[in-house]
Amino acid sequence: MINIGLLGLGTVGSGVLEILDSRREELKNITGHDINIRKILVKDLNKKRPIKIKPGILTDNFNDILEDKDISIIVEATGDLEKGYDYIRKSLKEGKNVVTANKAVVSRHFEELTELAEKEGLAFLYEASVGGGIPLLKSLKEQLALNEITEVKGILNGTCNYILTEMERGLDYFEALRIAQRKGFAELDPTDDVEGLDTRRKLRILGTLALGSTILEEDIVLRGIRSIKAIDIEYINKMNCSIKLIGEIKSYEEGYTAIVEPMIVNKNSPFYSVYYEKNAVLLKGDKVGDLIFYGNGAGKLPTANAILTDVIDIIMGLSKTESPVGTNKLENINISLKGKYYLRISKVSKNIYSIMESIAKEILCEKENIVIMTKSMLLNDILKLLKVLEIKEEEYFLARKEC
């Protein structure tokens, strides 16, 4: 029997229980073991829960789990940065394999935790932390044996994509956000999602694996979707295009660029038909070419499914303990980021008009808003101009045209 300690019994934790329960026989046939949730860490032992729990397996004391010698695998599903980190570190030091869905922890402590796992000869797996249910990181690690990865790019945040999809279907930003919240895709405080922080964490993990070089959150340019308005959607629709929040890391001879920003994609783009809470990730390998993985970026069962594929790999001895974090030293050349940009400014003056005209390839509107497509230019130069003109973040929307 394989005993698991489950940390957290929220959406994801319940999903893990649900799947284990429904696939007991199949899992025994495949792995040769009964998989047993031996203890579950919760905050409140007396909380009413919609699922049936075996009596006596709940605890509000992490040490009960840590000190249980029969537990060999910890599934960390707290969603909490500080506690999650603490639990994972202690578990590895105590000789337990760890599976987590906690992208904030993996992003913040990737090098430390993967090295600790390697030192202890244990598995540390986090498939569910990027792309939810999509079997992405394992495939990426496999491709690395045969390929130089030159690009990773993806729609990595279901909340933003949900909001943008609803806006393209006619809602304004706040209506779309409210629906996303009501459906459980967006948090009450959506800052991490709409400002791109969540996408950046996932891109940091993906990029570090793909390029074999530590790429930190602060190495990634961050531009979210908070200032988008219905008028932007209108112009993007008129171009027969769609708007997505995309994280992108590219490697060149001279170094790498890394950015999270809104991107305008046309119908030839593989990201064009990725709607609502779906995620999609592109990997470009020098041998395999373009690979794209698409699926549910979040949700109870998809996320739990990803966690359990990691658990199965550990039980079957298919996971490596070596840290997958590479030691390449690459230069960050974000300063070279450039492209043709859609730019809408809601504050107008003669001064702004004439400067916008000077950088425009095409002027789409010059009324209460000025809307242009720029020539191909450095992102930095556009941002500098906006600063000089004293245009605040909420007064403009800037999105790169994909190609």
One residue of 3, 19, 59, 338 binding its own copies per CB under 8 A: 19
- Is residue 403 within the footprint of its own copies (CB under 8 A)? no
Least distance from its own copies to the Cβ atom of residue 324, Å: 11
14 binds its own copies (CB under 8 A): no
* Alpha carbon distances (Å) from 334 to 53, 107, 252, 255: 50, 20, 11, 9
Sheet holding 97-100, edge to edge: 58-59, 35-41, 2-7, 71-76, 97-100, 124-125
Q: How far apart are CA 111 and CA 214, in angstroms?
A: 8
Q: Which stretch binds its own copies (CB under 8 A): 54-62, 135-143, 225-233, 331-339?
A: 135-143
318: phi then psi, degrees, rounded to nearest 5:
-95, 0
Structure tokens at 298: 């979040």
Catalytic one of 96, 153, 202, 284: 202
Tell me which residue of 202, 246, 250 sits closest to 225, measured CA to CA.
246
Question: Should residue 269 be labelled a site residue for its own copies when binding is judged by CB under 8 A?
Answer: yes
The single residue among 147, 199, 251, 323 that binds its own copies, judged by CB under 8 A, is: 147
Of the candidate spans 39-47, 55-63, 305-313, 370-378, the one that interacts with its own copies by CB under 8 A turns out to be: 305-313
User: Interaction with its own copies in 58-97: which residues (CB under 8 A)?
Assistant: none
Q: Quick one: which of 134, 220, 243, 356 contacts its own copies (CB under 8 A)? A: 134
Considering the complex, state which of residue 221 and residue 246 has its C-beta at the smaller distance from its own copies.
246
143 binds its own copies (CB under 8 A): yes
Give the residue carrying structure tokens 């359990």: 308
Token duo for residue 135: 């079997």
Q: Under rule CB under 8 A, how many of the chain's residues touch its own copies?
A: 46
The verdict on 150 binding its own copies (CB under 8 A) reads no
Query: How far apart, in whole angstroms, are the C-alpha atoms of residue 195 and residue 292?
Result: 25
Q: Going along 240-323, which residue ranges are E strands?
A: 241-251, 256-266, 278-285, 289-296
- One residue of 308, 314, 373, 385 binding its own copies per CB under 8 A: 308
Residue whose CB is less far from its own copies, 114 or 147: 147
Q: Which of 160, 106, 173 is nearest to 137 (CA)?
A: 106
Q: Which residue has the tokens 């531009």?
A: 223
State the nearest-atom distance from the C-beta of 94 to its own copies, in Å.
27
Q: Is 129 in the site for its own copies (CB under 8 A)?
A: no
Residue with smaller CB distance to its own copies, 24 or 93: 24
* Residue 30 is a binding residue for its own copies (CB under 8 A): yes
Sole binder of its own copies in the list 70, 142, 172, 234 (CB under 8 A): 142
Binding test (CB under 8 A) with its own copies, winner from 295, 371, 372, 402: 295
Phi-psi region of 121 (alpha: psi -120 to 50; beta: other; left: phi over 0): left
CA distance 193 to 197: 6
User: Which residue of 290, 357, 362, 390 would you call a contact of its own copies, by CB under 8 A?
Assistant: 290
Q: How far is the CB of 185 from its own copies (least distance, A)?
A: 14
Stretch that binds its own copies, among 69-77, 166-174, 288-296, 362-370 (CB under 8 A): 288-296
The reply to whether 291 sits near its own copies by the rule CB under 8 A is yes
Q: Is 294 a binder of its own copies (CB under 8 A)?
A: yes
Q: What are the phi and psi torsion angles at 332 (to 5°)?
A: -85, 120
* Residue 244 · residue 155 · CB < 8 Å: yes
Q: Is 107 in the site for its own copies (CB under 8 A)?
A: no
DSSP E strands, 156-309:
221-222, 241-251, 256-266, 278-285, 289-296
Only one of the segments 3-11, 127-135, 194-202, 335-343 lies at the binding site for its own copies (rule: CB under 8 A); that segment is 127-135
127 sits in the region (left: phi over 0; alpha: psi -120 to 50; else beta) called alpha
Cα gap 150→133, rounded to integer Å: 24
Whether 347 sits among the annotated catalytic residues: the reply is no
In the complex, minimum distance from the CB of residue 25 to its own copies, in angstroms, rounded to a whole number: 11
* Coil vs helix vs strand at 102: coil
Q: Which residues are catalytic?
A: 202
Contact positions vs its own copies (CB under 8 A): 19, 23, 26-27, 30-31, 133-135, 139, 142-143, 145-147, 267-270, 272-275, 278, 280, 285, 287-296, 299, 301-302, 304-306, 308-309, 312, 318
